[in-house]
Amino acid sequence: MKRRQNICCRPALGYGVTILTLLALIFLFGPSSRAEDKTEIKNIRYSTSHGYTRVVVDLSRPVEFTKKRLSSPDRLYFDLKNSRISSEIRNSLPIGDGILKAVRAAQFDPETVRIVLDLERMEDFSAFILDDPAKLVIDVNAGKQQRAPELQRTVVLDPGHGGHDPGAVGKHGLQEKDVVLDIALRVRELLSRDPNMRIVLTRDRDVFVPLEERSLIALKQEADLFVSIHVNASSNRSARGIETYLENWTDEEEAIRVAARENYLSVRKMKEKMAQYRKDDYVGKMLSDLSRDYKREESLALAHYVQRSLYSDAVRVNRKTTDLGVKKAMFFVLMGASMPPSILAEVSFLSNPEEEKLLAGDAYRSVLAQSIVSGIKKYFSSSVPEQKAARIARKTEDRSGGSSPSSDPHRKTATDFAGR
Ligand SMILES: [Zn+2]
């Protein structure tokens, strides 16, 4: 910074002034005149964004400064030369955003103002002077590996069906669309008690919303995750239990049947659609795209948390329930390259008379809602943020428990990849 030349001298004084004149000037204008020689620190402010905090020091004019990092406690300081601090500035500005604890400023000696940044977490920083209007800008970069803890998470809940589409219907007339809406509203109620959670529903009443509009809501809301809630049905009335899906290729007949029903397709049509996608293209595309790979890993983790939570809570009320595990299939509502981690939970079977009876009551719905909430919370407290996930994605193939290696096209492809 060589801008000092512009500010350190007072050409109006010239070189010919006598000491007397100088003294007279000092006498006339007093300390404020001397102060005007200096750069004034007028204001200090900050803003926080994803992974970094910007501190802006507003100045009366550009200034020369030195910078240093000190440890225990971890802090950065900046000495602004030939400066004075306005008496209106508070000495300390608390921040507490997970990156900076606070900014402090004080007159270090008659010529120097020291600005101190108390650090919580920092990867690197940069500092520069801007003029017109003059300011010192300090950017503290905490890296993108971690979110600042106070950042809000947006969860999109998707109660399946609605309006003219009842979804599955039980023997006693209970409709899937009503059960899942009620469960979703309970989940919203419970999750919104956490001020860091923002909950959006794809529908909050009995209306039909097309599948593609549901995923669009997740994109528009910049959701951190998407949870579609459904109730299962089977022509086999004794079928019961809980299963959670993520979007992926499957060759399993039962999973294709479930996906067909939730996609409003016959099994034959569903298989035709799948033939259009072609397995190799579909799987190859997923593996070649890091953000999709990230989404798949995270969806898998989310599915496991929710499935485990649903089953372990439900079995206490519904002793005969079965853990059908985490499965994969092509659900249109979960598809989309830019979708956040997404799952579809089938929380019980409406076609099973005992489960229909349970689903009709408050107590069981409340247990299911509660367990979806704890699954989501466990996921959030353990989730791998995106960039890190992208880097380690290749090593985490073995996290895909719940399906046999031979039926998992990803595992096969990943092994081929590793063998090269
Ligand atoms: Zn459904």
Distance 231 CA to ligand 1 centre (A): 6
Distance 197 CA to ligand 1 centre (A): 25
**Cα angle vertex 213, ends 208, 216, to 5°?**
150
Distance 262 CA to ligand 1 centre (A): 5
Of the listed ranges 248-257, 305-314, 400-409, the least confidently predicted one is 400-409
Cβ-based neighbour number of residue 268 at 10 Å: 9
Instruction: List the structure tokens of 251.
Output: 């060759």
Distance 228 CA to ligand 1 centre (A): 9
Distance 345 CA to ligand 1 centre (A): 9
Distance 177 CA to ligand 1 centre (A): 8
Residue 376, amino acid: I
Distance CA 387, CA 290 (A): 9
Yes or no: say if 193 and 310 are a contact pair by the CB < 8 Å rule. Answer: no
Is residue 406 scored above 60 in pLDDT? no
pLDDT at 391: 29
What digits encode the pLDDT tens for the residues 254-285? 999 999 999 988 999 989 888 877 776 776 66
Is residue 409 scored above 80 in pLDDT? no
Is residue 292 scored above 70 in pLDDT? no
Distance 184 CA to ligand 1 centre (A): 13
Give the chain's radius of gyration (CA, Å). Answer: 31
Torsions phi, psi for 130 (to 5 deg): -115, 145
What digits encode the pLDDT tens for the residues 360-403? 999 999 999 999 999 999 998 876 444 333 322 333 333 333 33
Cβ-based neighbour number of residue 269 at 10 Å: 12
Distance 39 CA to ligand 1 centre (A): 67
Of the chain, the percentage scoring pLDDT greater than 70 comes to: 76
pLDDT at 28: 45
Instruction: Provide the pLDDT confidence category of residue 330 given band limits of 50, 70 and 90.
Output: confident
Cβ-based neighbour number of residue 322 at 10 Å: 15
Is residue 49 scored above 50 in pLDDT? yes
pTM of this structure: 0.58
pLDDT at 65: 94
Give the single-character DSSP code of 169.
B
Distance of CA 162 to the CA centre of its chain: 29
Distance 118 CA to ligand 1 centre (A): 52
**Which CATH number applies to 153-414?**
3.40.630.40
Distance 353 CA to ligand 1 centre (A): 17
Distance 292 CA to ligand 1 centre (A): 25
* Domain range list for the chain: 5-9+17-141, 153-414
Distance CA 73, CA 270 (A): 61
Coil vs helix vs strand at 66:
strand
pLDDT at 148: 47
Question: Strand 197-201 and strand 112-119: pairing?
Answer: unpaired
Residue 270, amino acid: M
* CA dist list (Å): 142 to 73, 136, 285: 17, 19, 32
Distance 261 CA to ligand 1 centre (A): 7
pLDDT at 383: 63
Number of Cα atoms under 13 Å in the Cβ half of residue 385? 11
Instruction: Provide the pLDDT confidence category of residue 319 given band limits of 50, 70 and 90.
Output: very high
Distance 275 CA to ligand 1 centre (A): 23
For the stretch 8-21, what's the b/e string if a residue is b when 16 or more beta carbons lie within 10 angstroms of its beta carbon? Answer: eeeeeeeeeeeeee
Of the listed ranges 87-96, 274-283, 411-420, the least confidently predicted one is 411-420
Distance 167 CA to ligand 1 centre (A): 5
* Annotation: CATH topology of 5-9+17-141: Immunoglobulin-like (2.60.40)
Instruction: List the structure tokens of 382.
Output: 């353990």
237/52: higher pLDDT: 237
Number of Cα atoms under 13 Å in the Cβ half of residue 165? 17
What digits encode the pLDDT tens for the residues 106-142? 999 999 999 999 999 888 888 887 766 788 888 888 8
Distance 193 CA to ligand 1 centre (A): 27
DSSP secondary structure letters along 134-156:
TEEEEEEE--SSS--TTPPEEEE
Distance 224 CA to ligand 1 centre (A): 22
What digits encode the pLDDT tens for the residues 226-254? 999 999 999 999 999 999 999 888 889 99
What digits encode the pLDDT tens for the residues 74-89? 999 999 999 999 877 7
Yes or no: say if 154 and 222 are a contact pair by the CB < 8 Å rule. Answer: yes
